[in-house]
């Protein structure tokens, strides 16, 4: 097998743009190379469930946003390669400043995070000085720094319920998750008008038809979906929650309304069961997150090899963003989440 480890002519770096212009030797076994580099560098690969199957298969830990944050906080590795999107890698850096945090493609953003620019949000928040700000983890460090507590889809309800009933709250940036938590807790949180492009694409009509064609299938959905879609669901939860549900539930068929990457672990955990991705409202593969899918095994290999692109952050911003993260992790630990 060809070894191109020191052959820079084949791997042209375009680091200032945050990505690699590559021509990797196709005979290279990237799975083996990545394993070797992980050991050499004492690196850990953390991957979100929306990553492509190959990346999930080389990861040391796969999880939802809460699990990934907890893992990023507790790891002893020197390098964290975050196979996810920018806000996730940034969160790992906020929690673990002494580690080198790498993201295979710096352009892996998030439509939900983009829907809440900190400058605009600050103006909005200043109008409600008596409100506490609970912010979904899918946001920038700048947004985190403006927040009182961060939450994820798996602890949002508990975090809201941990506050006194009469405490006015602003919930940002996901209006769908916010509306769902309002319904579950009977609160009336003020919602920022943000959403995820992937979870708003599902077609109610096509899901209804699919349910008729598969009467025994359970319909499960992520709380970033819109209310009419959630109203049809047998179970609503974070990616980890959805995966667990498919393992524990006795049904053999599931219609899954979230990003399609999660189906890989569902199928691996329950090979005898059938998983059907909920259809989008047009014929494209719009329930694939275009940002999550920017990461590839090749970029992961190069990023680990050259230790770039790296996430860096202003220390003042990091400390301000860490405070609401610490509060979230503290409340989660209290509830055993
Ligand atoms: P969870 O994995 O925390 O449910 O989040 C889903 C998501 O949209 C991540 O971008
Ligand atoms: Fe952001 Fe939605 Fe992609 Fe998650 S699935 S990273 S919320 S755009």
DSSP 44-62: EEEEETTS-HHHHHH-SEE
Of all protein residues, whose CA lies closest to atom 6 belonging to ligand 2?
110
pLDDT score for 25:
84
pLDDT over 90 percentage in the chain: 89
Q: How far is the CA of 196 from the centre of ligand 1 (A)?
A: 10
The tens digit of pLDDT for each residue in 302-336 reads: 999 999 999 999 999 999 999 999 999 999 999 98
Domains in the chain, CATH or no CATH each: 4-109+292-312 (3.40.50.10800), 112-197+317-334 (3.40.50.10800), 202-277 (3.40.50.10800)
| CB contact burial 4-31 (16+ within 10 A = b; e otherwise) | beeeeeebeeeeeeebbeeebeeebebe
- Report how far residue 215's alpha carbon sits from residue 99's, in angstroms, rounded to the nearest whole number: 49
pTM of the model: 0.92
The tens digit of pLDDT for each residue in 45-55 reads: 999 999 999 99
Ligand 1: does its nearest atom lie under 6 Å from the Cβ of 287?
no
Element (H, E) at 69: helix 65-74
Atom of ligand 1 nearest to the CA of 48: 2
Residue 328: HSE in the Cβ half-sphere, 13 Å Cα cutoff? 30
Mean pLDDT of 210-219: 97
User: Position of tokens 């220390």?
Assistant: 315
Q: How far is the CA of 99 from the centre of ligand 2 (A)?
A: 25
Ligand 2: does its nearest atom lie under 6 Å from the Cβ of 85?
yes
Ligand 2: does its nearest atom lie under 6 Å from the Cβ of 110?
yes
Q: Which residue, 299, 332, 325, is CA-closest to 148?
A: 325
Are the C-beta atoms of residues 207 and 232 closer than 8 Å to each other?
Answer: yes
User: Position of tokens 């980890």?
Assistant: 240
Atom of ligand 2 nearest to the CA of 84: 6
pLDDT score for 15:
45
**How many other CB atoms are there within 10 angstroms of residue 99's CB atom?**
19
Q: Which residues contact 261 (CB under 8 A, 6 or more apart)?
A: 48, 49, 50, 51, 52, 53, 56, 288, 289, 292, 293
Bridge partners, 36 (sequence order): none
Question: Which of 155, 222, 225, 244 has most ligand 1 atoms within 8 Å of CB, for mutation?
Answer: 222
Q: Which residue, 10, 2, 63, 6, is CA-closest to 30?
A: 2
- Report how far residue 157's alpha carbon sits from residue 177's, in angstroms, rounded to the nearest whole number: 10
Ligand approaching nearest to the C-alpha of 48: 1
Ligand 1: does its nearest atom lie under 6 Å from the Cβ of 65?
yes
pLDDT score for 7:
38
The tens digit of pLDDT for each residue in 5-41 reads: 333 334 444 444 455 666 788 889 999 999 999 999 9
């Amino acid at each position: 097998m060809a070894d191109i480890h020191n052959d820079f002519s084949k791997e042209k770096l375009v680091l200032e743009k945050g990505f690699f212009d590559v021509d990797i030797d196709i005979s290279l076994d990237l799975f083996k190379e990545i394993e070797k580099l992980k050991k050499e560098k004492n690196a850990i690969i953390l991957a979100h469930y929306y990553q492509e199957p190959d990346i999930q298969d080389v990861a040391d830990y796969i999880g939802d946003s809460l699990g990934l944050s907890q893992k990023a906080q507790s790891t002893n590795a020197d390098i964290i390669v975050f196979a996810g999107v920018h806000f996730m890698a940034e969160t790992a850096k906020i929690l673990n400043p002494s580690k080198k945090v790498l993201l295979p493609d710096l352009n892996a953003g998030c439509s939900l995070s983009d829907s809440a620019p900190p400058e605009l949000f600050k103006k909005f928040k200043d109008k409600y000085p008596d409100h506490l700000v609970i912010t979904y983890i899918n946001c920038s460090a700048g947004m985190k720094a403006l927040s009182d507590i961060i939450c994820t889809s798996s602890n949002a309800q508990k975090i809201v319920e941990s506050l006194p009933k009469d405490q006015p709250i602003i919930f940002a940036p996901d209006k769908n998750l916010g509306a769902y938590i309002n319904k579950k807790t009977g609160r009336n949180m003020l919602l920022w008008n943000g959403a995820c492009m992937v979870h708003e694409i599902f077609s109610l009509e096509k899901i209804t038809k699919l349910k008729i064609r598969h009467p025994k299938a359970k319909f499960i959905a992520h709380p970033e979906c819109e209310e009419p879609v959630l109203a049809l669901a047998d179970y609503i939860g974070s990616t980890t929650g959805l995966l667990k549900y498919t393992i524990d539930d006795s049904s053999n068929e599931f219609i899954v309304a979230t990003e399609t990457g999660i189906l890989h672990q569902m199928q691996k955990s329950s090979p005898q069961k059938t998983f059907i991705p909920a259809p989008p409202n047009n014929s494209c593969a719009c329930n694939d997150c275009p940002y999550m899918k920017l990461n590839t095994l090749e970029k992961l290999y190069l990023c680990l090899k050259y230790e770039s692109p790296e996430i860096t952050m202003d220390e003042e911003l990091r400390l301000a963003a860490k405070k609401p993260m610490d509060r979230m992790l503290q409340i989660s630990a209290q509830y055993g989440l």
